[in-house]
Amino acid sequence: MRFPFLLMPAILLAGCTVGPDYEGPVTAGAAAPGATFARAGDKIGPAAPQEAQWWTAFGDPVLDELEKRALAGNPNVAVAQARLQQARAALGLQRANGKPNANVQAIYLHAKVPGIDLGSGSGGEAEGGGDSESLNFYNVGFDASWEIDLFGGQRRSVEAARASLGAAEANVADARVSLAAEVAQAYVGLRDRQLRVELARQSADKQRGILELTQQRQSRGAASTLDVERQRGQVEQVSSALLPIAAERDAYLNALATLTGEAPGVLDAMLAKPGTIPLPPAEVAIGDPSAMLQRRPDIRAAERQLAASTAKIGVAKAAAFPKISLMGIIGFGGTNIGDVIDPSKLAAIAAPRLSWNFLDFGRNAARVGQAEGARDEVAAQYRGAVLTALRDAEDALTRYGARRQAVANAARSKASADLAASLLRQRFDAGTSSRIELLDAERQQISADQALIQAKAQMTTDFIALEKALGLGWS
């Protein structure tokens, strides 16, 4: 078989791929291997952290169940997974575009044309009448076409689609990371408000007891109306402070329901009983910045988007070069219906086609410039994402270290309030202190307990933020 002379250069150039090869993003200096976090304090270890299901370190089965339900039923994760499915299909489409295209066809043609003398040797089916003749034509066959990927434009399209698929996979992981942190933070907020609502009610009861005793003292002339009104105002303040805490508790119940893909109220029975606030482990493994950047899904997605935009430059550059496509047609047919099964009526056509839009007045050069500008934009976005990730981790480490110290301070304050209440009870039992003084000491004890609970909740919330900043919560 002889190839047309024009196809020889195409065959020689078939392995050529234009456009820049992707060599990876520029590594930020602060994320170089061996670098450490600047804000890591005590109780922070350099060991590699647990990537998936970090919340199991709390040892809270209710939280574990909520995380399981959320990861299975949250709509945001479902959206990311649907986009991943689209990206897989897009990659399959690009791969298929590089392969030949074949079609099977069957044709019947009936024409009535003027001034044609079919004659007896035509073999056609003619129906005469006046100045026109009728003609029937039958054909069964198939055609195939294939555009040779001379300069790698199709290969670059597949490369871009593969990178976009990697970005979609990373976006699914990022959705899981964010969701796991949201569920854990909402759960901690719920437990915090539940405990503080109960303590606020106890504090209100103590304050009402002080008011009743002050009113009794007023009736005996041992307290003034001013003393009573002051205590009445304290009762109103404590009672008012209870209302927003209760509203926040209900809001967290609603948040947990929707995060798990349920309607508000569905989880109320499951979460009605107050529980303790889950506390982070004594030592936290964080690894190093370089490993964190490789692990964070948002950074992985940004890197894959950079790879995709780089490949699209090659797609734009390949469009400026000549294109060669091959088309072939084969079939059986003639003017009689029996011709479609007659081997002697075989018709075959091979048609190579060369096209080159060499005079486009700079249109494709502009498209290449657009692709290069888009690549530079994504590269800048990647660098920004890296710096943001490093800042998130450092900020989270700073806040978590401060919260640990705040919990220690709140614990010492609680111990002092407990001791003061114990000493006042001893004095009350000995008759050297009044019940009002005892109730006031117990109210201050409750306030110290509330402050400690709130400090623990904030510390755990900052620990969750640290786990999210480290890119944990997916596998």
Note the pLDDT of residue 6. Answer: 47
Note the pLDDT of residue 121. Answer: 44
Which tokens in the block code for residue 346? 């075989």
Q: What is the pLDDT of residues 263-275, one digit of tens each?
A: 999 999 999 999 9
Q: Mean pLDDT lowest for which of 177-186, 275-284, 350-359? A: 350-359
Q: Mean pLDDT lowest for which of 111-115, 158-162, 388-392? A: 111-115
372: left (phi over 0), alpha (psi -120 to 50) or beta: alpha
Compute the C-alpha angle 43/453/271, nearest 5°.
110
CA distances in angstroms from 17 to 91, 155, 167, 323, listed in the order given = 19, 8, 23, 13
Give yes or no for residue 17 having a pLDDT over 90: no
Q: How far is residue 158's CA from residue 71's CA, in Å, rounded to a whole number?
A: 31
Question: Exposure pattern of 296-328 as b/e (b: 16+ CB <10 Å)?
Answer: bbbbbbbbbbbbbbbbbbbbbbbbbbebbebbb
The per-residue pLDDT of the chain, averaged, comes to: 85
Confidence of residue 468 (pLDDT cuts 50, 70, 90): very high
Considering only residues 350 and 465, tell me which one the structure prediction assigns the higher pLDDT: 465
Query: Which residues make Cβ contacts (< 8 Å) with residue 303, sequence separation at least 6?
Result: 24, 25, 382
Note the pLDDT of residue 352. Answer: 86
Give yes or no for residue 125 having a pLDDT over 60: no
Note the pLDDT of residue 28. Answer: 53
Q: Which amino acid is at 81?
A: Q
Q: What is the pLDDT of residues 408-459, one digit of tens each?
A: 999 999 999 999 989 988 988 888 888 888 888 888 888 899 999 999 999 9
Confidence of residue 339 (pLDDT cuts 50, 70, 90): confident
Give yes or no for residue 126 having a pLDDT over 50: no
| Report for 62-76, 238-252, 281-295: range of highest mean pLDDT | 62-76
Q: What is the pLDDT of residues 204-242, one digit of tens each?
A: 888 888 888 888 888 888 778 887 888 888 888 888 888
Note the pLDDT of residue 34. Answer: 62
Q: Mean pLDDT lowest for which of 11-20, 49-58, 141-150? A: 11-20
Average pLDDT rounded to a whole number, residues 104-120 = 71
Share of the chain above pLDDT 70, in %: 88
Confidence of residue 148 (pLDDT cuts 50, 70, 90): confident
Considering only residues 31 and 150, tell me which one the structure prediction assigns the higher pLDDT: 150
Count of C-beta atoms within a 10 Å radius of residue 123 = 11
Give yes or no for residue 306 having a pLDDT over 60: yes
Which tokens in the block code for residue 191? 């437990």
The answer to whether 110 touches 135, Cβ cutoff 8 Å, is: yes
Side-chain-side CA neighbours of residue 299 (13 Å)? 28
Q: What is the largest CA-CA distance in the chain?
A: 138
Give yes or no for residue 143 having a pLDDT over 90: no
Closest CA relative to residue 113, chosen from 90, 95, 136: 136
Q: How far is residue 280's CA from residue 185's CA, in Å, rounded to a whole number?
A: 12
44: left (phi over 0), alpha (psi -120 to 50) or beta: beta
Which tokens in the block code for residue 196? 């503080």
Query: Which residues make Cβ contacts (< 8 Å) with residue 117, sequence separation at least 6?
Result: 133
Q: How far is residue 470's CA from residue 186's CA, in Å, rounded to a whole number?
A: 19
Confidence of residue 374 (pLDDT cuts 50, 70, 90): very high
Q: Which CATH class is domain 28-98+158-182+250-321+366-469?
A: mainly alpha
> Hey, what's the torsion of the CAs at 272, 273, 276, 277, to 10 degrees?
0
Note the pLDDT of residue 325. Answer: 86
